[in-house]
């Protein structure tokens, strides 16, 4: 049986911010030690390894925490003040880079239109990907998919009426519709195992690069703030609308690379499920939400644009490294995955 639920270990720090967070979390219960002062948040790259890891560790306290870390740190005021500074710096950078998003209808129309020629990881892996590249893709994606739908679930009590009902219908499917063996996080863990990877929750955080952390951090940021509930719905919509075609490519790519049934089941499931979810999110969640709260339209549009921006940054990191024959992981390629320096 695949075990994915036990708390992970704290990752190694990547700079002064993540070092400060790690130091205080291993100091004992809250109040045993204070955060170093000053912690230089504004001087750090908002998309960089150090800030993204520090933010990821702070957010993980609201999910499964870390082995040996006192659960009381989740709501420690001093740590929350630092997290808020990290969030503001990151969110300001996302807003600046995303710019003023176009009208929501235009954004959704773009998401619904598949470009004739694609350049993202699913296209790369399908065209001429190698097994080690598929493994690296799964490592980066494991940060989210081993807790798939958890960040979005924060939106449930912040919606109401028809929007809430449709939203929870989609989430119910994400968690296996009452069948634990069909939960998407479980299917992803089984896919990792089929590729010879460790499916333990949080196992590969140290190997994952900042763009992968940023994708997950954006979901947690939107989910943990009621004021950003519209942005979370936009992020959710962007994922559900674009998932089906990419999942079909990845299923074909992984089958070509020798994956067994467990190695393609996750993406096969998403081809069909997300085609239905796309309709539910657009017409069942967004439409009634904006009918009740039209002022959230700009926030939903921002969530779509911000999600697309974070995903594009991760895609560029992955395909850029692979095209150059380099590993996309921190610390280099994983042993036992058939890594080759030949460009893909």
pLDDT at 57: 98
More confident residue, 109 or 184: 184
DSSP state of 74: G
* Degrees, nearest 5: CA angle 119-193-258: 55
Q: How confident is the model at residue 117 (pLDDT cuts 50, 70, 90)?
A: low
Cα–Cα distances in angstroms (integers) from residue 243 to residues 36, 112, 158, in the given order: 42, 10, 24
More confident residue, 115 or 24: 24
Please tell us whether the domain made up of 101-323 is placed in CATH 1.20.910.10. yes
CA distance 153 to 236: 10
pLDDT at 343: 43
8 A C-beta contact, residue 306 and residue 181: no
Q: Is 316 exposed, middle or buried (0-12, 13-18, 19+ CB in 10 A)?
A: middle
- Enter the tokens of residue 173: 């499917």
User: Residue range 149-171: average pLDDT?
Assistant: 95
Which residues are CB-contacts of 137 (< 8 A; sequence separation ≥ 6)?
A: 121, 125, 318
pLDDT in tens, 268-288: 998 876 567 778 898 999 999
Percent of the chain residues topping a pLDDT of 90? 77
More confident residue, 344 or 139: 139
Domain ranges for the chain, please list them. 16-97, 101-323
């Amino acid at each position: 049986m695949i075990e994915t639920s036990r708390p992970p270990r704290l990752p190694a720090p990547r700079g002064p911010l993540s070092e400060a967070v790690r130091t205080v979390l291993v100091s004992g219960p809250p109040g045993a030690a204070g955060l170093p002062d000053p912690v230089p948040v504004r001087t750090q790259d908002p998309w960089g390894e150090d800030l993204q890891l520090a933010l990821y560790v702070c957010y993980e306290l609201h999910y499964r925490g870390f082995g040996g870390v006192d659960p009381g740190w989740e709501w420690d005021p001093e740590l929350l003040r630092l997290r808020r500074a990290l969030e503001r710096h990151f969110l300001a950078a996302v807003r600046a880079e995303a710019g003023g998003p176009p009208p929501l209808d235009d954004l959704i129309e773009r998401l619904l239109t598949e470009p004739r020629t694609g350049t993202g990881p699913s296209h790369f892996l399908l065209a001429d990907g190698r097994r080690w590249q598929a493994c690296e893709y799964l490592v980066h994606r494991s940060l989210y998919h081993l807790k798939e739908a958890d960040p979005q679930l924060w939106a449930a009590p912040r919606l109401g009426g028809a929007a809430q009902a449709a939203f929870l219908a989609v989430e119910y499917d994400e968690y296996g519709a009452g069948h634990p063996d069909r939960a998407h996080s479980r299917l992803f863990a089984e896919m990792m195992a089929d590729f010879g990877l460790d499916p333990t929750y949080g196992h590969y955080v140290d190997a994952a690069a900042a763009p992968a952390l940023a994708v997950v951090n954006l979901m947690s940021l939107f989910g943990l703030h009621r004021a950003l509930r519209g942005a979370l719905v936009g992020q959710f919509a962007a994922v559900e609308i674009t998932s089906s075609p990419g999942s079909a490519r990845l299923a074909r790519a992984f089958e070509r690379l020798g994956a067994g049934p467990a190695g393609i089941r996750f993406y096969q499931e998403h081809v069909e499920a997300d085609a239905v979810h796309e309709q539910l999110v657009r017409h069942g969640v967004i439409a009634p939400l904006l009918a009740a709260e039209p002022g959230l339209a700009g926030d939903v549009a921002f969530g779509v644009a911000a999600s697309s921006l974070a995903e594009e940054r991760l895609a560029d990191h992955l395909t850029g490294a692979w095209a150059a024959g380099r590993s996309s992981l921190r610390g280099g390629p994983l042993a036992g995955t058939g890594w080759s320096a030949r460009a893909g």
